[in-house]
Chains A and B, each alone.
Chain A
Amino acid sequence: KQEVTQIPAALSVPEGENLVLNCSFTDSAIYNLQWFRQDPGKGLTSLLLIQSSQREQTSGRLNASLDKSSGRSTLYIAASQPGDSATYLCAVSSSGTYKYIFGTGTRLKVLA
Chain B
Amino acid sequence: GAVVSQHPSWVICKSGTSVKIECRSLDFQATTMFWYRQFPKQSLMLMATSNEGSKATYEQGVEKDKFLINHASLTLSTLTVTSAHPEDSSFYICSAAGDYQETQYFGPGTRLLVL
- List chain A positions with a Cβ less than 8 A from chain B: 31-32, 36, 41-44, 46, 49, 51, 89, 91, 93, 98-105
Contact = CB atoms under 8 A, between A and B. Distances in A.
Nearest to A44: B106
Name the residue in B43, B46, B108 with the highest tally of chain A Cβ atoms < 10 Å from its Cβ. B43
Nearest to A98: B101
Contacts, number: 48
A89 B41 CA distance: 12
Given A99-B49, A100-B34, A104-B43, A43 B95 contact: no
B103 A49 contact: yes
B43 A31 contact: no
Interface in B11-50: 32, 34, 36, 42-46, 49
Interface residues of B, number: 24
Given A98-B97, A99-B49, A100-B46, A93 B104 contact: yes
B95 A31 contact: no
Nearest to B103: A49
A105 B43 contact: yes
Contacts of A49: 103
B56 interface: no
B102 interface: yes
A102 B43 contact: yes
Nearest to A49: B103
Name the residue in B45, B97, B103, B109 with the highest tally of chain A Cβ atoms < 10 Å from its Cβ. B103
B106 A46 contact: yes
Contacts of B97: 98
